[in-house]
Structure formats: C-alpha cells, structure tokens
C-alpha cells in the first residue's frame, strides 16, 4: 500500500462531502451569530469550527470501521477499508485524531459546549454502532442535527435562545437527509439484512418522503423570507435556488442528496442576508 493510496483512503474514510458541508455550515452559522451580535470572528469561532470538524472526522471514520465487514461482503470498493486502501489500524488512528481535535478544541469553550458536542457525537456514534440497521435509524440524525445549532451558539458565546427554534426546521431536513442517504445504499443494505427506516418504507416511498420533507422545509423557509421585513431580494433568490435544487431531487437519491447540500448552503446564506 503506497503512501498516496493511504492518504487518499484516509480522506475517503471520513466521508469528505458531508463532513465538509456540516463544518462549513457550522462555521457560517457561527459567523452569522457573531455578526448579529456585533462581534468579529474570534478564537471562540475557530475553536467551535475545529470541534465540529473533529466530530465529523471521528463519526466518518468510525462509520467505516464498524461497517468494514459488511462493506467487504457487499464488495463496496468505494470504501477504503473494504478496498484495502487503508488498514483498520490506520482508520483507528484517524478516528482518534478526530476525537482528539474535538476534545482539545472544547477545552477553552466550557463544560456546556463539551457536553453538547459529546451528546451530538455520541448520538452519531450510536448510529454507527447499531441504530443505522434498525427502524430507529433516523433518531440519531434528529438528535445530532437538532443539537448542532445550539452547540454552535454556545461555542461562539451567543445566547442559545437565538437559535432555539432552529431544530423545528432542522429535524425534518435531517430526516430527509437520512432517508436520501439510506436510499443511495438501499440495495447493499437490503442484501445484508438491514432493517433501517428506508428499508421499512421501501425504496420509492422512502425517496418520496425524503423529497417531500426537504421540499416542505424549503417552502417554509421561502415563506419566511417573503414575509421578512424588509424583504431581501438576494435572500429570496437564494431561497428559490435552494428550493429548485431540492425539487430536482425527484430524479433520484443522488440528485436529492446533492440538491440538499446546495439547499443547505443557500438557505443558510439567505437567512444571514435576511437577518443582517
């Protein structure tokens, strides 16, 4: 195994697309909250973003570690452990590195921040260990992403009440993300006897529910942007772009997954502009 292969495998191990998306969105949310409080980006913002990044590294790496035998049985050569591009020992080091970043970054931000981070990360780890193969597979998504806005607010030192309503929109979007992601692996999961929520709903129904949930969130966000005073035309435009990105996801799970990532960025930016 060459060094280049191992490095590439380590990057794929942490599921870079969703990891980067969650980290960037967390950083954007933190920056928005600071701007609204009249404060510049500071060391607390940097530590908060680092903690989220560490959590994402840990969650992604442990996901592939737990599933390595199942991925091998399903011939998932896109997975670095199943393809032999990375050893399990190296994957443990990557996961440990992510956890170390999370803990080190949390030291300066206080006990509440640390507990929230451990709760969000622990929920995702429970998904990796067991819940991902059960009818309760959506629960960790609801818990972890529901905690995320409050975690960010505490990290940057902003009153969590500022984002207390965020889980009401985050929850259905997180559920949609889970179903869209599970449908992408539907056949492999079915072959290995998984009983996750998407398997219980069936491929087409799970895709339709995911699409409807994500689109519903977009409609609510769009309605809020329209009634915001004063109306921000750039914010409305971004809201519409996000809505269209989700709408085209009716074509299939990969299209929906990509559209949801685009929508998350657009809607976060739209919220920033509308509340500036």
Residues 80 and 212 in one domain: no
Residues 36 and 103 in one domain: yes
Whether the model clears a pTM of 0.85, i.e. scores above it, the answer is yes
Q: Confidence band (pLDDT; 50, 70, 90) for 224?
A: confident
Q: What CATH number corresponds to the domain at position 20?
A: 1.10.357.140
3-class DSSP state for residue 231? coil
pLDDT greater than 60 at residue 143: yes
Residues 129 and 155 in one domain: yes
Residues 10 and 144 in one domain: yes
Query: Can you give the pLDDT at residue 261?
Result: 86
Query: Can you give the pLDDT at residue 105?
Result: 96
pLDDT greater than 60 at residue 247: yes
Residues 64 and 35 in one domain: yes
Q: Confidence band (pLDDT; 50, 70, 90) for 164?
A: confident
CA 2 distance to own-chain centroid: 31
Q: Using one digit for the tens of pLDDT, what is the confidence trace for 231-242?
A: 778 888 888 999
pLDDT greater than 80 at residue 273: no
CA distance 65 to 114: 24
Residues 198 and 145 in one domain: no
Q: Confidence band (pLDDT; 50, 70, 90) for 223?
A: confident
Where is the domain boundary, 163, 179, 195?
163
As a whole number, the mean pLDDT across the chain is 91
Q: Using one digit for the tens of pLDDT, what is the confidence trace for 64-108?
A: 999 999 888 878 888 999 999 999 999 999 999 999 999 999 998
Residues 139 and 170 in one domain: no
CA distance 22 to 32: 15
Query: Can you give the pLDDT at residue 234?
Result: 85
Residues 113 and 206 in one domain: no
Containing domain of residue 216, as a range? 165-276
User: What is the mean pLDDT of the segment spanning 135-150?
Assistant: 95
Residues 192 and 116 in one domain: no
Count of domains forming the chain? 2
Query: Can you give the pLDDT at residue 268?
Result: 81
Q: Confidence band (pLDDT; 50, 70, 90) for 165?
A: confident
CA distance 213 to 29: 22
Residues 136 and 18 in one domain: yes
pLDDT greater than 90 at residue 118: yes
Q: Find the helix packing angle between 3-13 and 88-106, rounded to 10°.
A: 60
Residues 40 and 132 in one domain: yes
Strands (E), the chain: none
Q: 27-46: buried (b, 16+ CB within 10 Å) or exposed (e) per residue?
A: bbbbbbbbeeeeeeeeebbb
Query: Can you give the pLDDT at residue 269?
Result: 81
Cα atoms found within 13 Å of the Cα of residue 81, Cβ hemisphere only: 25
Q: Confidence band (pLDDT; 50, 70, 90) for 199?
A: very high
Residues 258 and 214 in one domain: yes
Q: Using one digit for the tens of pLDDT, what is the confidence trace for 12-24?
A: 999 998 899 899 9
Where is the domain boundary, 163, 186, 204?
163
Query: Can you give the pLDDT at residue 2?
Result: 64
**Exposed / middle / buried, residue 231 (Cβ in 10 Å: 0-12, 13-18, 19+):** exposed
Where is the domain boundary, 131, 163, 195?
163
Query: Can you give the pLDDT at residue 276?
Result: 59
């Amino acid at each position: 195994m060459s060094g280049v292969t191992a490095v590439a495998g380590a990057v794929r191990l942490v599921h870079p697309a969703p990891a980067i998306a969650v980290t960037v969105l967390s950083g954007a949310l933190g920056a928005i909250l600071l701007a609204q409080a009249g404060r510049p980006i500071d060391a607390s913002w940097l530590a908060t973003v680092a903690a989220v990044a560490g959590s994402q590294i840990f969650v992604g790496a442990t996901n592939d570690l737990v599933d390595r035998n199942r991925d091998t049985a399903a011939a998932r050569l896109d997975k670095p452990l199943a393809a032999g591009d990375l050893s399990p020992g190296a994957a443990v080091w990557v996961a440990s590195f992510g956890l170390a970043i999370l803990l080190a970054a949390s030291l300066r931000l206080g006990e509440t921040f640390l507990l929230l981070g451990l709760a969000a990360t622990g929920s995702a780890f429970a998904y990796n260990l067991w819940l991902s193969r059960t009818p309760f597979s959506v629960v960790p998504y609801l818990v972890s992403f529901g905690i995320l806005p409050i975690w960010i607010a505490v990290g940057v030192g902003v009153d969590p009440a500022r984002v207390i309503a965020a889980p009401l929109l985050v929850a259905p979007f997180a559920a949609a993300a889970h179903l869209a992601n599970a449908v992408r692996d539907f056949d492999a999961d079915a072959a290995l006897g998984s009983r996750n929520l998407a398997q219980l709903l069936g491929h087409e129904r799970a895709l339709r529910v995911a699409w409807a949930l994500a689109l519903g969130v977009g409609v609510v966000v769009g309605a809020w942007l329209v009634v915001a005073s004063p109306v921000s035309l750039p914010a409305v435009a971004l809201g519409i772009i996000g809505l269209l990105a989700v709408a085209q996801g009716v074509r299939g799970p990969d299209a929906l997954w990509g559209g949801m990532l685009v929508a998350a960025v657009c809607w976060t930016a739209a919220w920033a502009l509308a509340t500036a």
